Structure 1
Amino acid sequence: MMTPGKVAVGTKNLFMPSPVTLVGANVNGKPNFLTVAWCSIVNNFPPMVSISLYRIRHTRAGIKENGTFSVNIPSSRQVEVTDYCGIFSGKNVDKSRVFDCFYGKLKSAPMIVSCPMNMECSLHSTHSIGTHDLYIGNIVEIYVDEDCLTDGMPDIRRIDPMVCTWKGNYWLIGEFVAKTFDAGKRYKP
């Protein structure tokens, strides 16, 4: 029985918004980056992140080869180059010179200097789940531009990240609503 006012729209990947990231891996010794919106934190201790990549993606070879990858958070000012990395495959285009890169503790996960936030990850596990492979990575280190910190922590307003909707549109993050683990204290059932 349907609830009044609700419309069934079918089974689709409608989870939104999704963070816009640039996943990096060295493929055949060269940095390669892919735009990925299917990315999420999956564990606290140790800290882990997941990315879901369609099986034809070129970056997968580098993750398998090195056992490392990076998750880079671009700002909205980088929308064109971010979208470029999702349109063109590293199989056909050399993306190693698109960004200035740096390497951290693992020395094999390329990270993007111009992205305000970078996560350096070692591969924890890979899971085949239909059309995609799910990669779970241990976050080895997080790097944040100094001017994007407030009280030593990443500031979402300064990082200026994008989110993506299911139809593939880029959006900006909205305004502050409430503090987590605090707003609910005022709720009276």
Structure 2
Amino acid sequence: MEKMKVDPDLLPPMPMTLVGATVEGRANFMAAAWVTRVGHKPPLIGVAINHRQWTGQGIRQTGAFSVCLPGRDLLEKADYCGLVSGRNVDKAALFDVFYGDLGNAPMIRECPVCLEVSLTQTVEFEHHAFFIGEIKAGWADGEVLTAGRPDVDKYKPLLLTMPDNRYHALGPVVAQAWSVGKALKKGTDHESSGD
């Protein structure tokens, strides 16, 4: 099949989240999809936030933030959080806000899964800051757990694609990771760690 050159601004599907921070003494949430795990031990997560966003100011002030994963039932409110600024609107009033172990990372009770994060590093770019933090605690609704762990088939995370700016639902499982490729690995002369 012939490859066609496309816009380099194309991004892979990203998780749709609500990032929370305490800004000037009150809870605030923003829609954020530029979110990724960056470490395993300790568990690190990073989020890119434009310098003009009020939430970034709160992360800098308190050294803490949350990453909340909304379900489809919160999509309208989550999208709204990406349309208005917390400087002008009390977005936290849309939700039942709770705090966990850190005490200053607001989370949304209606989100089936929430992470409490302690800021460890900030990487500055021209238009964005990339906030990296250690996940100090995870909070999940009991009905989305399987064997004590959040189950994506139950909490149904949302994805955002850009630059078409569309929300998607996560699809069905298609294979087991680090297993489906074993048939190809069999018979090779060397062991590989996936490098």
TM-score range, shorter chain: over 0.9
Residue 179 of structure 1 corresponds to which residue in structure 2? 176
What is the CA distance between 1:156 and its match in structure 2?
A: 0.6
What is the CA distance between 1:124 and its match in structure 2?
A: 0.6
Q: 1:110 aligned to 106, 109, 134, which one?
A: 106
Q: 2:149 aligned to 120, 128, 153, which one?
A: 153
Q: 2:123 aligned to 124, 127, 132, which one?
A: 127
Taking the aligned partners of 2:31 and 2:183, their CA distance within structure 1 comes to: 40
Letter of the aligned partner of 2:105 in structure 1? A
Is 1:67 matched with 2:63?
A: yes
Q: Equivalent residues in 2 for 1:88-99 (5 A)?
A: 88-99=84-95
Is 1:82 matched with 2:85?
A: no
Taking the aligned partners of 2:83 and 2:26, their CA distance within structure 1 comes to: 19
Task: Name the SS for the 1:114 alignment partner.
Answer: coil
TM-score by length of 1: 0.95
Q: 2:19 aligned to 14, 20, 23, which one?
A: 23
What CA deviation, in whole Å up to 9, does each residue of 1:25-46 have, x standing for no partner? 0111111000000000000000
Taking the aligned partners of 2:35 and 2:74, their CA distance within structure 1 comes to: 18
Taking the aligned partners of 1:176 and 1:122, their CA distance within structure 2 comes to: 32
Letter of the aligned partner of 2:3 in structure 1? K
What is the CA distance between 1:16 and its match in structure 2?
A: 1.7
Structure 1 gap segments, 5+ residues each: none
Letter of the aligned partner of 1:31 in structure 2? A
* Greater than 4 Å deviation, 4+ residue runs: none
CA RMSD of aligned residues (A): 1.1
Letter of the aligned partner of 1:77 in structure 2? D
Deviates more, 1:93-102 or 1:119-128: 93-102
Residue 100 of structure 1 corresponds to which residue in structure 2? 96
TM-score by length of 2: 0.92
Letter of the aligned partner of 2:174 in structure 1? V
Taking the aligned partners of 1:58 and 1:44, their CA distance within structure 2 comes to: 29
Is 1:46 matched with 2:42?
A: yes
Residue 168 of structure 1 corresponds to which residue in structure 2? 165
